[in-house]
Structure 1
Amino acid sequence: MRCYLTCVVLLVVLSGCTLAARPITGDLHGEIFWENTVYLRGDVTIEEGATLHIVPGTQVVFLPPVEGEDLLRIHPFFPGSELIVRGRILARGTAEAPIVFRAAREDAGAGSWGAVNLRQSPEAVFSHCIFTQADSAIHSFDSQVRVTQSIFQDNLVALRFNTSDMHISHNLIRGNDAGIRFHYGAPVIEFNHLVDNGRAFFFTSHPRDYVIRYNNILDSRDYAAVLGEEVPEDVLMADNHWGTNDPERIEARFFDGRRLSYLGNILYLPLAQHPFPDAGPAWSP
């Protein structure tokens, strides 16, 4: 069954000539196609077995929920309207027509909507997407996720995951409170440009089976990398560029065993002497 949800049903607002789209709410099943501008309100769920296709140029806009529509507010869910994906999501934009996930108000701050929340999704693909104003733009548990050629800006957390197979490459992660936050999981994180984040990387618990290399990690406001209390292991982050080749300046941006003895250390040598010119997306909006 195909369910086409494009600009949804347009309702005429009589107090002027404004058109407003009826928002999507609740649980969705089958083959779902979104295009143009799609408004979400409350907890919207792509159920197990369903596939959401988002076409290039689509704007996915998160409206503030009304009473009774935001029942899932406690972690691993988030306050505000949220897209919960238990099935598949295929969001493949283009450089000319990226897919945008944003709040309804252009001037809304970070945390104005919840997340694209992947819950045991067998396939989640994001390319040429822009995520802004979210609590946790992409949040993943036990899912198969590919994120490439995308921009994460002005979110509380850009990418947050647990026990997921993540491939994160050629993205711009800029101006978030936290860039990439995870524990467990098996991520490959390479050729990303992380700049002006509060914490570029936050390892919260026993990272393992990870590859983090060939990234530019620049101008972090607080720390370039933080180890949480459940990370007694050393964390391997060789072959990244840190904006400087001075070990003292690099290590000053680590919160690890150099500050608290029970934590592991960030092992960053050998470091890349120069920025990776092909890190980040090969396009700009």
Structure 2
Amino acid sequence: MSARHTLAIVGAGPTTLMFLNELLQLATVLLRDLDITVFEASDSPGRGFAFGDDAIHPCLLSNNTPDEIPVLTMPFSQWYRQENRKPEKAEDVHSNVVTRAAIGAYFSFSYKIIFQKLIERGLAIRHEKNTVVENLKRCPQGIQLSLNSGNSEYFEKVFINYGKERSGGTLNNTLQPYPVARYANASLKTYTVIGTSLTGIDCVTGIAHTRGAFTYHNNKLVYNSPEEWTVNLFSSHGTFPRIWYSSHYKDPRGHLNENLRF
């Protein structure tokens, strides 16, 4: 009988999700020698920081179409229709830009399905949610993980699969862009955003949706906010990024523009 290999994975975000999906492609006999534990600081697996509810605003876009999202348990478009109870004859979502929140929900859904399938295939795997790995060190028993519960566990191999947000900004008196709610909910009169990358656009979009609302009036997009505030964008290049958005905007000739770029 071959020896079992104990593996710990710290973080249950998209990287771990893709890793587990790869394990699902292996022969069952190869899975029987593995004993895996996944430690996740939050209670929502698969999302990670980039697509997690705590870090993003529901309206932030991903700049990805469904066809660019990896197929896991099912294609994203199929999952989207299923979750939103949209009939097959409804408007196709293949060419629409997806929100980060939707991708996060899809990843979380897929993680749970893949996790259960691995168990059914005979893999010894467990998921520890709301568990923070505070320290690790080598010792005679293997690699010791010290947990926020005060307990310690030992493993043969440890994989670190998480990204850590920096606690402070790169300049004095600045904030990191995520989560947007950290500053969007504040009653500030002026916001200064350094940079006009996609992250900068996320900042402005998150602030705008938090402090007001976009509506259509006489076929024009109008923004209304109950209070006055200003955003100043600073860019070293003086240009905005090229963002691909599918659009149903009609040009002056009445032609539908499916590939409008801003």
Q: Which TM-score band applies after superposition, normalised by the shorter structure?
A: under 0.3
Point out the structure with the larger strand share: 1
Greater length-normalized contact order (CA 8 Å, ≥ 6 residues apart): 2
User: Structure 2 length normalisation: TM-score?
Assistant: 0.25
The structure that has the greater radius of gyration is: 2
